A and B are shown apart, each in its own frame.
Chain A
Amino acid sequence: MTLSILVFASLREQLGRGQISLAIDLPCDVATLKQGLAKQYPVIATAERNGALLVAVNQQMAGDEAMVAVGDEVALFPPVTGG
């Protein structure tokens, strides 16, 4: 199925849009999701290689083992720099 993913900040600018999509079987874990995204989007592959890729699932920071299911809100972004 096709999963829509929100992207923010420098990733959003590099990708040229605030939302991207990926064909993937769900449920899957975040590590698998990142592998799929890295194959399709070179910018994401670079961010992941540089340790500069964070994932949130349902508005919570998610590690590689976290699961993504149908209907979840998934977001990708670089390390945060607020405050």
Chain B
Amino acid sequence: MSQIRLAVNEHWIDVAEHLSWLSADHNAGAVVNFIGQVRQQNLNEEVTGLVLEHYPAMTEKSLTGLIEQAAARWPLLRISVFHRVGALVPGDPIVFVGVSSAHRDAAFEGARFLMDKLKTQAPFWKKETTKDGDRWLDARACDTDAAASWD
């Protein structure tokens, strides 16, 4: 039975604290985490800000479903998923996904599965601010392919 932490909100992501929680299980021989950050350069333009919109009633439900799938598929001890919404600036963390497991294969795969699925299933949308105005980002085909590779 995995221990789970999940939050979607406007708060800063305290990476050190999340890593320490993931590592605290003494059966965790492996801890893997991913941090997604706001890029300063995207599609050849300077990005000055990013707003993340979401569908509040669906977001946590969708992420909980993905966490349950990961927990059923790999022997994960702890799973941590934090995603920010609202206004962010370049360099800000957007998402933290981390898992711990007895061995590294499960940890690497579990973390990658969660990120790949989050990218195509969880209802978040990014809108970037550039000097030429605001623009909604388009989904990328490579993300769809990555998510489908787990099915």
Q: Do A and B come from one complex?
A: yes
Chain A residue contacts of B52, Cβ below 8 A: 82
Complex: how many Å from CA A9 to CA B124?
9
B53 at the interface (CB under 8 A from A): yes
8 Å CB interface, B64-82 against A:
none
The smallest C-beta distance from B136 to any residue of chain A, in angstroms, reads 4
| Number of A residues, CB within 8 Å of B | 19
Chain A residue contacts of B57, Cβ below 8 A: 59, 73
Chain A residue contacts of B118, Cβ below 8 A: 82-83
8 Å CB interface, B106-136 against A:
115, 118-127, 136
Complex: how many Å from CA A56 to CA B53?
16
Q: Is A56 a contact partner of B55 (Cβ separation < 8 A)? A: yes
Q: Is A81 a contact partner of B121 (Cβ separation < 8 A)? A: no
Chain A residue contacts of B136, Cβ below 8 A: 9-10, 13, 78, 81
Chain B residue contacts of A13, Cβ below 8 A: 136
Chain B residue contacts of A83, Cβ below 8 A: 36, 83, 94-95, 115, 118-119, 122, 124
B5 at the interface (CB under 8 A from A): no
Instruction: Identify B125's interface contact among A60, A61, A80, CB under 8 A.
Output: A80
B87 at the interface (CB under 8 A from A): no
B39 at the interface (CB under 8 A from A): no
B137 at the interface (CB under 8 A from A): yes
Residues A8 and B121 in contact in the complex (CB < 8 Å), given A81-B126, A83-B115: no
Residue among A13, A59, A82, A83 with the highest chain B CB neighbour number at 10 A: A82
Chain B residue contacts of A6, Cβ below 8 A: 55
Q: Ordered nearest first, which 6 A-B pairs have the shortest CB separation?
A: A82-B124, A79-B139, A9-B125, A59-B58, A10-B136, A83-B119
Question: 18 extra interchain contacts, Cβ-Cβ under 8 A, other than A52-B138, A80-B119?
Answer: A6-B55, A9-B136, A10-B136, A56-B58, A56-B123, A59-B57, A61-B121, A77-B55, A77-B125, A80-B121, A81-B124, A81-B139, A82-B94, A82-B118, A82-B124, A83-B83, A83-B95, A83-B124
